[in-house]
C-alpha cells in the first residue's frame, strides 16, 4: 500500500506549520463555522447531515463527501453521525431500489426522491472501507467493511436472479451509469483509484470486475476529455462524446463543461497520485491548466463547450474550478502548475448560499495537495 504522498505546498516552499494551520482553519470553517460558512449540522446526540446550501437539502453526494473528509481527518464521531443519518433516512430497504440510497432528502429526513445517484454509493463504500481500516469495525451499521461490501454487491448485482431493480454499472463495458439502468454515464463519476481498492476489498467474486473497471475508466476518461481543452461534459455517451439527448426529467443541457465536470480532472489527479497509471487521461490535466490560464488570472470562468467556446454566463462555482485545476497538478507538472497551486492557496473558501459544492471540492483539493488525502 502507498506510504508516501506528495505535499505540493511543501514542494513550493510553504512551511509545514502554515499548511497544518490552514488545514485546521478549513476544517473549522466547514464543520463548525458561522451560519454562512459551515455545511455540517449535528442532529440530536448521534446524527448529523451535510447541507447542500444551494438547494437546502441533504444529498448522497454531500453525505458521502462528508464521510470521506471525516475519515481522512480522523473525525470518527462526525463520521458515525453522518453515517447513521444516512442509513436512517436515505437508505431504501425495499422496492425497486432496495439496497441503494435516496439521492436527496429534506433536512428533516423526508425523502425528496426514491431513486439513487451512483456517485454517492461509490463514495459511501470507499469511506466505509477506509473507516474499517483506520478505526476497526463495530457492530450493526458500524460494521463498516460489511456495509461497504453490501453496497458494492447491490451496485453490481441488482436485477440478477429475480432481484428487482437495475445495477449502477454497465456489466458489459464496466462503466458507471448516471442512474441505474440508463444508457449513458457521467465522466466525473469515474473513480479508477476507488475501483483499484474495491478490487482488493469487495466480495471476492466481484474483485475481477473492479480491476477491469479501473482500467476501463482510465481509458474512458482519456476519451471523454477534449484533446485541446481537457474539458469533459457533465454527461457523456459510453464512447466519451458529450451526451446531448433530451432526458425525460429535465430540459437542461448537460453536454458542456459545467458543474459536475469540474470534478473529472481532480479525480484524474488523485488517481495518478495514488496509483501512477496513465492510460492517456493525464493529458487532460495538462490541457486544462493551459486552457483556463487566462480566465484563472482574471478569476472569470464561464460555462464552456467542451472544445472551449464560451457557451453561457459565468460559472456558478468558480472556487470549485480553481480548486480542481490546482488538484490536476498531481497528474501533470506544467509550466503553469505552480501558478495554479499558488492561486488556490491564496483563495478563501466560499461563503453564502452557494458555498456547499465549492467548499467540498476546495477541501478535497487541499487535502490532496498537502499529502493528506490518503489510502487507509
Give the residue numbers annotated as catalytic, written as ranges.
61, 260
Cα(277)–Cα(222) distance, integer angstroms? 12
- Report which of 155, 282, 152 is spatially closest to residue 204, judged by C-alpha positions: 152
> Per DSSP, which regions of 138-230 are E strands?
none
Cα(103)–Cα(59) distance, integer angstroms? 5
Torsion of the alpha carbons at 347, 370, 52 and 49, rounded to the nearest 10: -140
Distances (CA, A) of 238 to 49, 177, 242, 243, 261: 34, 9, 9, 9, 16
Residues 6+ apart with CB under 8 A from 122: 155, 176, 189, 191, 194
Cα(241)–Cα(111) distance, integer angstroms? 33
DSSP-assigned letters across all residues of 250-264: B-S--SSB-GGGHHH
User: Residue written as cell 477491469?
Assistant: 212
> How many other C-beta atoms lie within 10 A of the C-beta of residue 198?
26
- Report which of 69, 26, 34, 76 is spatially closest to residue 50, judged by C-alpha positions: 69
Amino acid at each position: 500500500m502507498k506510504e508516501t504522498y506528495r505535499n505540493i505546498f511543501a514542494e513550493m516552499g510553504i512551511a509545514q506549520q502554515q499548511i497544518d494551520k490552514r488545514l485546521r482553519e478549513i476544517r473549522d470553517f466547514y464543520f463548525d463555522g458561522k451560519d454562512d460558512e459551515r455545511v455540517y449540522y449535528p442532529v440530536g446526540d448521534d446524527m448529523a447531515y451535510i447541507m447542500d446550501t444551494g438547494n437546502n437539502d441533504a444529498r448522497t453526494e454531500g453525505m458521502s463527501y462528508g464521510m470521506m473528509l471525516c475519515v481522512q481527518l480522523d473525525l470518527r464521531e462526525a463520521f458515525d453521525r453522518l453515517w447513521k443519518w444516512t442509513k436512517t433516512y436515505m437508505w431504501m430497504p425495499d422496492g425497486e431500489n432496495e439496497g441503494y440510497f435516496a439521492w436527496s432528502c429534506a433536512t428533516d429526513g423526508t425523502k425528496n426522491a426514491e431513486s439513487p445517484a451512483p456517485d454517492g454509493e461509490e463514495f459511501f463504500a470507499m469511506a466505509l472501507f477506509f473507516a474499517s481500516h483506520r478505526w476497526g469495525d463495530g457492530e450493526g451499521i458500524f460494521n463498516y467493511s460489511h456495509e461497504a461490501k453490501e453496497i458494492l454487491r447491490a451496485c453490481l448485482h441488482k436485477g440478477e436472479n429475480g432481484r428487482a431493480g437495475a445495477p449502477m454499472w454497465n456489466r458489459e463495458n464496466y462503466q458507471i451509469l448516471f442512474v441505474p439502468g440508463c444508457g449513458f454515464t457521467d465522466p466525473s463519476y469515474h473513480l479508477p483509484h476507488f475501483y483499484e481498492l474495491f478490487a482488493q476489498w469487495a466480495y471476492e467474486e466481484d474483485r475481477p470486475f473492479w480491476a477491469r473497471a479501473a482500467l476501463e475508466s482510465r481509458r474512458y476518461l482519456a476519451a471523454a476529455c477534449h484533446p485541446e481543452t481537457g474539458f469533459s461534459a457533465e454527461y457523456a455517451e459510453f464512447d466519451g462524446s458529450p451526451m446531448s439527448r433530451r432526458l425525460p426529467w429535465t430540459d437542461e443541457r448537460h453536454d458542456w463543461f459545467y458543474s459536475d465536470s469540474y470534478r473529472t480532472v481532480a479525480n484524474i489527479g488523485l488517481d495518478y497520485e495514488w496509483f501512477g497509471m496513465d492510460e492517456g487521461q493525464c493529458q487532460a490535466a495538462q490541457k486544462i491548466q493551459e486552457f483556463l490560464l487566462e480566465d484563472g488570472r482574471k478569476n472569470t470562468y464561464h460555462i464552456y463547450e467542451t472544445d472551449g467556446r464560451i457557451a453561457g454566463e459565468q460559472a456558478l462555482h468558480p472556487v470549485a474550478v480553481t480548486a480542481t485545476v490546482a488538484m490536476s497538478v498531481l497528474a501533470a507538472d506544467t509550466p503553469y502548475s505552480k501558478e495554479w497551486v499558488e492561486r488556490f492557496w491564496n483563495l478563501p473558501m466560499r461563503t453564502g448560499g452557494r458555498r456547499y459544492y465549492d467548499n467540498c471540492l476546495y477541501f478535497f483539493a487541499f487535502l490532496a495537495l498537502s499529502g493528506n488525502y490518503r489510502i487507509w
